[in-house]
Structures are given as C-alpha cells and as structure tokens.
Amino acid sequence: MERVRTRFAPSPTGRMHVGNLRTALYAYLIAKHEGGDFLLRIEDTDQERFVEGALEIIYRTLERAGLAHDEGPDKDGGYGPYVQSERQKKGIYLEYAKQLIEKGEAYYCFCDKERLESLKQVVAGKEISIYDKHCLHISKEEVQAKLDAGVPYVIRQNVPNEGTTKFEDDIYGTIEVPNAELDDMILIKSDGFPTYNFANVVDDHLMEISHVVRGNEYLSSAPKYNRLYDAFGWKVPVYVHCPLITDENHKKLSKRSGHSSYEDLLEQGFLSEAIVNYVALLGWCPPDNREIFSLEELVEAFDYHHMSKSPAVFDINKLKWMNGEYLKAMDPEKFYEMALPYIRQAITRELDFRKIAEMVRTRIEVFPDIPALIDFFEAVPKYDVSMYTHKKMKTTQESSLTVLKEVLPLLEAQEDYSNDALYALLLDYAKEHGYKNGYVMWPIRTAASGKQMTPAGATEIMEILGRDETVARLKAAIEKLER
C-alpha cells in the first residue's frame, strides 16, 4: 500500500477561515490516522491577493491548533520548494504546460482583452465567458512568430467539445460532466504564473500527494483536473471534498458573522482545543455520536468515509457549550492563569482571586463571560428592592429587612469568616427561628451582591468579601429597605 501523503495548501491572504482550518485538520487527520505525512505548501500564485504578514498567520495558526506539518517551506522533506512562486521561478509549471502543448492537450492563446470581452454572453441572468478555441487553430509557424515577437500569451487546456469526463469522489461518488460544459481553462497566465488549478495538479503529482482534501466548491473543477492527470498519464489522487460550512441562517459562513476565522474565535475567548474539536465535527460524525475529542483521539477515530454531503451549520452556541466543557475539565492552575486577566478587568481590590476563579469555572462558557459575573465584588450595582421578594424562598421586603437586622450583629461578632463557619452560623440562626435556609440566605446574598444571579452562594461571597465589607454592605441594604 502506498504511503498516505496529504497537503494543506493555503493562500497567504489574511486570517484563516474556519473552512480552511477544517481542510487543514482533515488533511492532517487522514495522514496521521494512517501514519502518513502532512505537508504545508504555500499557494501564492495570485500575487495581487498576497497580504503582508499572512504567512506568519498560517504558521501560527497551524502551530496553535497542534497541526504540525512534516514537510513545508521550513522543513524540506526532499519535495521542495514548498512555495509556488519559488517553484514558478524554477520554470516547473511552464515545462509541464509545454509538455501538454506537445501532446495536443494545451495550446498558446494570444487573444487580447477586447476579443475576450466580445465572447461574454448572459445565460440565465449571469454573465459567462466561454472561450471559442480561436487560437487552437493557429499554425505552429504563426505561434512561433508571435512568441518570437513577444506577443503576450496564456496557455489554455484543450478540452474536447464532445463526450463526457467523469471522476470518482470518496464522499460524493461518481460525477460525470459533459465536456461541452468544461471551458478551456487557462493553465499559465500572461504574467508567467500558473493558475491555482494547474499548479495544484503539477505539485500534487510531484509531491506524491495520495489524498486531496478541499471544499466542495471545487467539485466542478475536478473533471478538468482529471483530464490533466490523464493527459500526463499520472495516477489520480483520492479526492475528499468537504461540505459547505454555513451560518445559522444557512448562508455561507462569511466574515460578517464575526466568527468566521480561527483568530476571531481566539479573540472571543475560545480555547484552541475546543475550536479544533468543534471544527472536526463540521461535516464528520463518528459512528457513536461522541462529541468531545482531543487531537490525539481524533487521529485515532477519524475515518473520512463518515463525512457528510450536507452543509454543516456553524452554531456558535454549540461551540460555546463545548468550550465550557473544556473549561470544566481544565487543570485548575492553568484555568486560574487564563482567567486572571478577565478577573482583573472587573476587580481592582485585593481579593482571593483563586477562589473567585474556581467559583466561575463551571459557570462560564468563554473567558469574557467572567467580568459580568463577578463585577459585584468591586462594588454593589444599583438594584431594585423588589429583588428581595422571592416567591420560591417565600421572602418579602419586610421579611428580608427583619432577617438582615437580626443577622447583622451575628456577622459583626463573627471572627471566623471561612465559608464553612459562616454557613454553620446562619444555619443555626435559621434553625433557632424556625426559618428555611433559603429564607435567610436569599436576602443576605442579595444584600452582599445586588444581583439576582451570582456564581456562588451567600456565605462563599461573604468569605471573599471579608467581615468589614460584608457588614458595610448589609448596613447599606438595611438602609435601602428602610427608605
């Protein structure tokens, strides 16, 4: 059996889209599942779209996602160069394009912009341009004369007008296309650079890529690719086309969604491991419907034959849930280090930040949730006294005032402000007066926090606030209720 070799071939055009991250991940998983090689190749043939710093983003994203490449521009495995512009300078693409011309599978095209414009037509409301093979019929002598005169040219693929081209896709099955629908696509552009499609075929063959993973928007190009493989007499790789990723409204996931790139998601407080885990499930489902996977577990479990044809919906709420699961399972020390900057956003006083971090750990989905949960530790927010009325706890403003007035001297006299000691004190008080626990705790928690929802109970909050601050807050609450 041949060695499995896959590649991720991004263009350096900015932040990495979630769809590109999934392509990289699936290519990595297919290779590693079989103990094969995962290559990084940079597709910079479209020089106009090149973005400064985008190369660094590619390296950084793959590193943070844990997708270590075995070969690439920084790791020569004997198949380099791994950057298309460097390969173009060596004349690789032109050499292979000329081989196709010799075989009659490609031809020089000297048509100028005006002539190409005249070929445009509107079909079903869309403007399309189908080349009419005008230059295919130029004699060899005329072609040579134009080349010698320096007339600008492109090299086009020669696709027959009759018959069909079919190919096998491991996800979508057999796809057959009438040749009449296939344009004579450009292989070498007038600037000497190859087109994306042609460079891919040549590079995948020369780098011995066994499985090509890409988005299903390339399904329609696959017959043209196969004609190139056949023309060269090369073995066609296994195609694995991934389903479209849409937003919640079933539209293609775009930058406008605010979470279309890996870096967007990191900035929104998501963990890299959770993003990778979630992206793996956008189009693939294990037989047992399990959802939480480490990267190592994905390598073990991933079988691309279980990929779906249907579009995958990027559900940000599902990702938040998954991220929350990762936070709950995180090492407490690591969680504390990552949570600390967010805690400091909300609290400037010196409190026990470790206890606060543990308090919020099971109650957040992303780190930016933290400040709004704990800001009351800094100061009690403005709140309405109607909060003291709680149907389930059977409390009213009057009963709350009574409880607060009765527990205030107990809390002023209390020396031990640990959670356990405070809890025991208040339980004794409730028992003595024949009150239910919630009847006592609700008004105290409201007075201490000014919030209906808190990440912890009354005594845990008081432990962190300490005696002086707790007493001051209860006195302020009594005053508020007496107005």
**Active-site entry in 75, 166, 251, 255:** 255
Of 439, 361, 363, 367, residue with least CA distance to 404: 439
Is residue 255 part of the annotated active site? The answer reads yes
Q: Which amino acid is at 442?
A: W
- Those residues whose C-beta lies under 8 Å from the C-beta of residue 3, and which sit 6 or more positions away, are 36, 37, 208, 210
> Strands (DSSP E) along 216-284, which ranges?
238-242, 245-246
What's the rounded Cα separation, in Å, for the pair 379 and 431?
31
Tokens of 133: 């093979």
Task: Tell me whether the omega of the peptide bond preceding residue 12 falls within 30 degrees of 0, making it cis.
Answer: no
Beta partners for 5?
37
Degrees to nearest 5, angle at CA 190 with 188 and 194: 25
In angstroms, how far is CA 184 from the centroid of its own chain? 35
CA distance 231 to 220: 19
Q: Please state, in angstroms and rounded to a whole number, the distance separating the CA atoms of residues 22 and 235.
A: 26
Q: Please give the DSSP secondary-structure letter assigned to residue 284.
A: B
- Dump strand ranges (E) for 25-68: 37-40
- CB 130, CB 177: distance < 8 Å: no
Q: If phi over 0 gives left and psi between -120 and 50 gives alpha, with beta otherwise, what is residue 203?
A: alpha
| Neighbouring-strand partners of residue 307 | 284
Measured distance between the N- and C-terminal CA atoms of the chain, rounded to whole angstroms = 84
Q: What is the CA radius of gyration of the chain?
A: 32
Tokens 């002023």 -> residue: 412
CB contact at 8 A, 474 and 444: yes
Distance CA 198, CA 185 (A): 9
Q: Which residues pair with 313 in a beta bridge?
A: 246
Contact residues for 239 (Cβ-Cβ < 8 A; gap 6+):
167, 168, 169, 170, 212, 214, 222
Contact present, 370 and 342 (Cβ < 8 Å): yes
Q: Mind telling me the catalytic residues? A: 255
